[in-house]
Structure 1
Amino acid sequence: MERQNLAHLLRACSKSRAFQGGLQIHAALTKAGLDSDLILSNDLVDMYCRCGSLPQATNVFYGMPHKSIVSWTVFMAGHLQMGFFHKSLGHFREMLCSGLRPNEFALSTHLKACGFSNSPRLGMISHALCLKTGFEAHPVVGNSISHVYSTSGLIEEAKKMFKAMPFKNLITWNAMIAGLALNGDFSGAVNLFDEMRRREEAFPDEFTFSSLLKACSGLRAAAAGVQTHAAIIVSGLDRPENQILAGALVDVYWKTGLVSEARKVFDRITEKTPVLFTAMVAGYCHGGLVSLAMEVFTQSRRSGAQTDGFLLSTLMGLFADLAMAIQGRQLHAHSVKLPSGLDVSVANSILDMYFKCGLAEEAAQFFNEMPARNLISWTAAIDGLGKLGRAPEAISLFEEMEREGVEPDEVTFLALLSCCSHAGLVDDCHRFYSRLKREDRVSVKPEHVACMVDVLGRAGRLEEAREVVVEERCSFVGSWQTLLSACKLHKNVGMGREALRELTRLEGEDSASCVTMANILAGAGMWEECLQVREAMVKKRMKKRGGCSWIEVEKRVHSFYGGDDTHPMIEEIKATPLEMETSMKGDATTLVHCNPSAV
C-alpha cells in the first residue's frame, strides 16, 4: 500500500511540476528502502525531468541497478523536453549498446529528437531501424517518421510514408498538413485538409486548424481564412483562452489585409501571450500604423507580459523605416531594462535605427559598445555608413571585420558595393566586385551586378557597364534599369534603346522605363520621337507610379502620395501654400514701401 501511495504522489508532483514535494517523496521512499524499485525509480526520473532538474534525474537514472525500456524512454524524453536533443540521441545509442530492443515509444521519442536535429541522413537511418524492428507501421512511429521527414525538408518522403500508413489517426493528418505548410506547399496543405474532411477519418482540432490557417496565410487567401475561422467557431474551438488559434487567426487576417478582423480576434483573447502581442504589433508595423503599434505595445507592458526580442526588433524596425529618432531612443532606453534587450538581434535593430535616422555618431558609439556582434551587426554598420556617404569608413570597417575573422556573405558584399557605387569609388567597387567573383563561399547575385553597372554608369563608362551586364548574362531587371538611367544621365540614345528593348523582353512594357526613355530622347533634342513615346503611353493607359513621402507630427505619421487627395486635412493642406504666398507678397510689398530704392 505504501509503495502505491508513493507512486501516486510522485506522479501528481510530476504532473503539477511540484519540485519540493517530489524531493520530500524521494526522501520518504529512500527511508522506506524503496529507492531500488524499478517503477518508483522511473517515476522519480520523470518527476525530476518535468521539474527541469536533469542533474538529479541523471543521478537517479544511473543509480538504478536495472533499467527497463521505460526507464530509457523517460530519460530520453526528459532531455528532449529540455531542448537537449543531442543528449537524447546519445542516450538512444547508449540504450542500443546495452542490448535493449527499442519499442514503439522509444523509437517515437528518438525520431522526435531526429526532427529537432534537422538532419535528413539521421532521419533516414532511424527510419531504416524502425523498418528492421517491425515498428514502421505502428501509428505512433509512422507519425514520427512523417514528422521528421517534414522538418528535415524531405517532404516527398513524408508523403510516401503518409500514403503507406495503413491506419491514419488525427495526429497522422495533423503531421502531414503541418509538414506541407512548413515546406511552403500551402495548396497541398489545404487540399489534404479537404481530403481529411471528405474521408471523415478524423475530426480537426486546434492544431489542424492552426496549420490550415498558416497555409491560408501563405496563399494570402482572405476568403479561405474567413471560412476556416467560421469552421473553428462551429467546432467550438473559438474560445477566448485559445492562444494557438488566436495567433494564427491574427496572422492570416493581417497578411490578407483584414485589419479590423485581426483586432477583433486580438481583443477577444482574455489572457494575451507575448507571441500574440508580437503578432499584433508586427501587423501594425507592417502597415505603418505607428500609433496603433505603440498602443498595443503599451498594453503589453501594462499587462505584465514578457517583452521578447522579436517584439522589440519589430517595433524598432518600424521606427528605423520612418526615421523616428525620438521614439527609437526611447525604445532603446526601455530595452536596456529588459533581459531580451541583450539579444544580438535587438542590438542589430537599434544599430540600424540610428543609422537610418542619420545619427552616425550615436550609431558608431553603440556599435563599439555592443557586447556581442555577429555578421549582421557588421553588415548593418557597413550599410549604414555607406548610405550616410561615409564610404572610406565603411571600407575600413569591412577590413576590420575580416581581421577579426568574420567572413562576409552576399549581403555584406552588396552593402559594400552599394557604398562604393553611391560614393563614385569606381576602382574600389571594381576591386571588391572582382574579389566577390573569386570567392567560393558566396556567389554573384544580380544585385551585385547592378551596383557595378551603377558605378560605371555614373562615371560615364557606359560600354564597360553594358559589358558587365552581358558578361554575367544578367536577366535582372534592375541591372538594365540602372543602365537605362545612366544613359539618361549621359544622353546616350542608342544604348538607351537597347536597354529598353531588354527591359521590355524581361518584364513587358513598364511606365517608368518608358518615361526614362522619353527623357533621354528629350535630352538629346529628339522631340518627335519623345512625343511618340509619350503618345504610345497614353494609348496604352500607362501611368508612372506616384511617389510617396511622409512627415511625423506629434508622434503621428502622415503619408502623402502623388495625386492623392484622400488625406482628411487635404483642404487645410492645400490652403496653407496660398496663405504663405499671400503672406510673402505682403511682406515683399512692405519692404518695397519701406525702401523705394529697392525698386
Structure 2
Amino acid sequence: MRSPAISSVTNLQNLCHKIKESSSVCRWKEVLSHYIEIRKAGFQLIDHTVYSHVLKACLPFSFRLGQSVHASLTKQGFDSFSSVRNSLMDFYAKSGVLSCAFSVFDCMKTRDSVSWNIILHGHLDRGFLEEGVDLFVEARAFGFQPNVSTLVLVIQAYQSLRAFDDGQGFHGYLIRSGLWSLTSVQNSLLGMYTEIRMDYAEILFDEMYEKDVISWSVMIRGYVHQNENVFALESFKQMVSEFGVEPDGQTMVTVLKGCSQLGELKTGKLIHAFVVSRGLDCDLFVGNTIVDMYCKCGDVDSAMLAFGEMPYRNVVSWNSLLSGLVHNEKHDESLRFFALMEKSGLDADEVTLVNLLLICKALGDLHQCKSIHCKIIRRGFYSNELAVNSLIDAYAKCNEIDLSWRLFCQIKSPDVVTWTTMISAFTHCGFPDCGRSLCTRQYEAGRPTPRHPAEPLEACALSAEIGRSKCAHAIAIRMGLASNVAVGTSVLDMYSKCGAIEASRRAFDQISLKNVVSWTAIIAAHGLNGLPREAVALLSEMEAHGVRPNSVTILSVLSACCHGGLVDEGVSLLADIVTKYGTELNSEHYSCLVDLLARAGKLDDAFRLIKSIPAAGASAWGALLSACRTYEDRKLTEGALPRMLELEPSSSAGYLLASNTFAAGGSWTDASGIRCLMKERGVKAVAGYSMVHVGNNVHTFTAGDKCHPLAHTFGPVVEQLHSCMIDTEARVPVL
C-alpha cells in the first residue's frame, strides 16, 4: 500500500504533466483548472517550468490571477530563474502593463537574448517607439542577438517615426551583421523607404536578389501612396509578365486603388478580369475594392454588378456602393439601396449614416436629417467625431444654423475638424462675421493648425471686405502659414473677390510650392477681375513651370476669355489643350464654350454646338437664353426655353431670362404668360442684394428696400448719387 506522501507526489506530477500537455494544444482554461486544483490541494510546485505555462494561460482570462502566480513563484524563490523572469515579463508586456514588465527586466542580473526581445516587443508593439528604439541601441551594446521579428519591428518603428537617417544607419548595421540577406528584413526595409524616400526604395529593390510577392506588393503600394499610379501599374505588369510572380489579394487591392486614383476605368476592367481569372474575386477585401474602384471611376452600373456577384458581403461592401451612389449624385438610388441594406438585416454603422447625411445635404432634406440624428443618438454614435461633424455640416446645408450651433455647443472638447466645420457652416449660411469671431476664439484658445486659416479667409471672401480680409491674412502670417499652399491659395482667392488683384498676385508669389490648384486660382482671379489676356498668359507660365492644367484650369481660362470677349483665343486654347494633354471635355466646358460664342453674338454657332453635345446641361441652355435676351432673338428663345424648363423646372433663372427677352422685344403677352407659369409652378425669384459695411456690421439691401432700418439714412444718398449720374450723362457729348 502506497503512503499518502507518495500519492501526493504522484498526483502533483500528473497535474503538472496535464498542465504542460494542455498548454501545448492551447487549452488555456484546462491549464488554469489544473493549476487551481494544485492550489486547492495545498501542493507546492517543485518544477519551476510549470509557471511559464500557467502565466501564458492567464493572459486571455485573468490579469489578477497572473499577479497571484507572480507572488507564489516569488515566495518559492523561482523568480531567480531566467526562464521564469522572461515568462513574467512576457505576461506583463502582453497585458499592456509595461511598468511591471520593465521592473522585472530591471531586476534581472543576467539578461539573455530572449529577455531583450520580450522587452523590445513590449515597447514597440504598444507604440512606445522612441523608447523601444533606444532600448535596442542599449541592447546592442550588451551583445544582444535580435530575432527576425524584433528586427522587423525596429524597422517599422523607424518608418512610423519617419527617422530616415536612423533608418539608414540601421540598414548599415544589418549589412555589417550579416542579417541583410533575410527576405523578410529586406521587405521591411523596402516598406520603410517607400514611406519616406521612394528613390532609395527603387535602388534597394534593384539590389534585391530574390523578390517575392511581398517585395513587389510593397513597391506597388509605395507608388500608389506617392500618387505615382502609372509606375504602379507598370510594376504590376512587369511582376506578372516578365518575372512570373503570382500576385495575392493584397497586391490586387493596391493595383485597384491605383486605377481608382487614375480614374482609369478601362484598365480597371482589365484588372477586374485578371482578378476573376486568378480566382481572387472570392476575397472579400478584393471584392470591396472592386466595387469602390468602379464607383470612383464613375461607373456605378458596373459597381452594382460587381456587388451582386460577391459571394460574401459585409457592412464595408454595402457602404462602398452606397458611398459610390452618393458621390455620383444618384440620391434616389442611394435611398433605395439603403432600404435594401436594412432589409438584409445589417445594421448601419457610422459610415452608413454619414453617407445618408451627404444625401440630406444635397437634397436639403431637414426631416431626413433629423431622423438620422435620432439614429446616431440611439446607436451610441454621438461620441463619434465623424458622425457629429457631418451632422453639424448637414444642418448648415439645410440652412438650420441654429441646430448646427446647438450641436457644436454640446461638444465638451471640439477637435480641429469640428471647429473648422462650424466656421464653414456660419460662412455657408451667410454669417461670415460669426465665422470670423469663432475663428478668433479658436486662435485665442491656442488651437490653430495649418488648415484653420482657410476658413476665416473664405468668410472674408464671402463678405468681400478688404479691411477684414487683410486682418485674416495677418493672422495667417503671424502663424507662419502664408507660404502654405492651401492657405496661400485661400488668401489670393479672398483678395480676388475683394477686387484687389495686385494683392492676389503678391499672395500667389509668396506660396513656396505652387500646385495646380494655386495656379488655377490665380488664373481665375485675373479672369474674375476683367483681365482675360493676363489669365491666358498665366496659363502659358503655368505650363512653363511644368504644372499640367486640369479640367478646372481649362474652365477658368475659358471663363476669362468668355467675359473678356476673346472668342478666337478661347476656341484656339481649348483645341491646343485637348490636343496636347488628351483631356476629355465635360458638360461645364461645353457650357462655357456656348457662353463664349453666344456673348460674341454667334448665336447660330452656339445653338449648333449645343445640339451636338450628347447631354447639354441647363447652364449651356441658360447661356444661350441670356444671349438671346441681349441680341433680342425671339426664335432661338422659343427653341431654348422648353429645354431649359425641362432641365431645371424649379429654378427661376430660365423663366426670368425668357420673360425679360419677350419684354425687351415688346411681346408683353408672352412675358406675362411666363410670369403666370412661374406662379402656377410655385417658382419664386430670388432677389439680388448689395452689402454695405457700417461700423462692424454688414447690412444687405435689395432693390426698392423700404423696410430696412437704415433705409432712411442711405435713401437720400442713393437719390443724390442717381441725380449726379443723370447730370453727368446729360453733359456727355454724343459722338
TM-score, normalised with respect to structure 1? 0.74
Q: Which amino acid aligns with 2:710?
A: I
Q: What per-residue deviation string (whole Å, max 9, x for no partner) do you get for residues 441-482 of structure 1?
A: 45562212312321x34xxxxxx4434433563752233223
Q: 1:216 to 1:561 in 2, by over 3 A?
A: same
Name 1:18's counterpart in structure 2. 128
1:41–1:64: 8 Å Cα contact kept in structure 2? no
5 Å-filtered alignment, 1:149-164, equals 159-160=304-305, 162-164=307-309
Partners of 1:579 and 1:483 lie apart in 2 by 35
1:45–1:75: 8 Å Cα contact kept in structure 2? yes
SS at match of 1:445: helix
SS at match of 2:464: coil
2:562–2:592: 8 Å Cα contact kept in structure 1? no
Name 2:474's counterpart in structure 1. 333
Q: Does 1:237 align with 2:381?
A: yes
CA shift, 1:293, in A, is 0.8
The one of 255, 275, 286 equivalent to 2:397 is 255
Name 1:501's counterpart in structure 2. 638
Structure with greater contact order relative to length (CA < 8 Å, sep ≥ 6): 1
Name 1:48's counterpart in structure 2. 158
Partners of 2:517 and 2:215 lie apart in 1 by 47
Partners of 1:316 and 1:64 lie apart in 2 by 54
5 Å-filtered alignment, 1:289-304, equals 289-304=431-446
Q: What per-residue deviation string (whole Å, max 9, x for no partner) do you get for residues 426-454 of structure 1?
A: xx533443453465245562212312321
CA shift, 1:328, in A, is 1.0
Q: 1:56 to 1:151 in 2, by over 3 A?
A: farther
5 Å-filtered alignment, 1:387-426, equals 387-390=528-531, 393-394=534-535, 397=538, 415=556, 419=560, 422=563
Q: Which amino acid aligns with 1:307?
A: T
Q: Does 1:485 align with 2:485?
A: no
SS at match of 1:551: strand
Q: Which amino acid aligns with 1:249?
A: L
5 Å-filtered alignment, 1:210-225, equals 210-225=354-369
CA shift, 1:555, in A, is 3.1
SS at match of 1:473: helix
Partners of 2:598 and 2:605 lie apart in 1 by 9
Q: Which amino acid aligns with 2:627?
A: L
Q: 1:472 to 1:167 in 2, by over 3 A?
A: closer
Q: 1:540 to 1:156 in 2, by over 3 A?
A: closer
2:523–2:556: 8 Å Cα contact kept in structure 1? yes
Partners of 1:330 and 1:397 lie apart in 2 by 28
5 Å-filtered alignment, 1:517-596, equals 517-522=661-666, 529-530=667-668, 532-537=669-674, 539-540=676-677, 542=679, 545-562=686-703, 570=707, 572-576=709-713
1:351–1:367: 8 Å Cα contact kept in structure 2? yes
Q: What per-residue deviation string (whole Å, max 9, x for no partner) do you get for residues 272-303 of structure 1?
A: 22222222222221222112211221232233
CA shift, 1:375, in A, is 4.8
SS at match of 2:665: helix
Partners of 2:281 and 2:365 lie apart in 1 by 37
CA shift, 1:110, in A, is 3.8
Name 1:430's counterpart in structure 2. 568
Partners of 2:574 and 2:278 lie apart in 1 by 51
Name 2:590's counterpart in structure 1. 445
The one of 278, 283, 287 equivalent to 2:429 is 287
Task: Return the index of the structure with the highest Cα Rg.
Answer: 2
Q: 1:233 to 1:429 in 2, by over 3 A?
A: same
CA shift, 1:109, in A, is 4.7
Q: What per-residue deviation string (whole Å, max 9, x for no partner) do you get for residues 162-194 of structure 1?
A: 444444444444455445545555555554544
1:221–1:256: 8 Å Cα contact kept in structure 2? yes
Q: 1:174 to 1:480 in 2, by over 3 A?
A: closer
Q: Does 1:312 align with 2:453?
A: yes
Q: Which amino acid aligns with 1:332?
A: H
SS at match of 2:594: helix
Partners of 1:8 and 1:298 lie apart in 2 by 49
The one of 404, 408, 416 equivalent to 1:266 is 408
SS at match of 1:559: strand
Structure 1: runs of 5 or more not aligned: 458-463, 489-495, 523-528, 585-599
Q: Does 1:469 align with 2:611?
A: no
Q: 1:76 to 1:245 in 2, by over 3 A?
A: farther
Partners of 2:512 and 2:711 lie apart in 1 by 50
Structure 2: runs of 5 or more not aligned: 1-85, 87-111, 218-246, 722-735
Q: What per-residue deviation string (whole Å, max 9, x for no partner) do you get for residues 302-350 of structure 1?
A: 33334333x4334323322331111111111221233543232332332
Q: 1:255 to 1:395 in 2, by over 3 A?
A: closer
Partners of 1:153 and 1:581 lie apart in 2 by 52
Partners of 1:144 and 1:72 lie apart in 2 by 28
Q: Does 1:511 align with 2:649?
A: no
Alignment size in residue pairs: 548
Q: Which amino acid aligns with 1:18?
A: F
Name 1:206's counterpart in structure 2. 350
5 Å-filtered alignment, 1:85-124, equals 97-98=211-212, 107=248, 109-111=250-252, 113-114=254-255, 116-117=257-258, 118=261
CA shift, 1:364, in A, is 4.0
Q: 1:539 to 1:571 in 2, by over 3 A?
A: closer
More off after superposition, 176-185 vs 332-341: 176-185
Q: 1:93 to 1:258 in 2, by over 3 A?
A: farther
Partners of 1:223 and 1:29 lie apart in 2 by 63
The one of 465, 469, 473 equivalent to 1:324 is 465
Partners of 2:272 and 2:718 lie apart in 1 by 80
Q: 1:8 to 1:243 in 2, by over 3 A?
A: farther
SS at match of 1:272: coil
Partners of 2:531 and 2:674 lie apart in 1 by 40
2:561–2:567: 8 Å Cα contact kept in structure 1? yes
Partners of 2:149 and 2:597 lie apart in 1 by 70
Q: What per-residue deviation string (whole Å, max 9, x for no partner) do you get for residues 14-47 of structure 1?
A: 3443233212332355456553422333333344
Q: Percent identity?
A: 20
More off after superposition, 20-29 vs 150-159: 150-159
SS at match of 2:611: coil
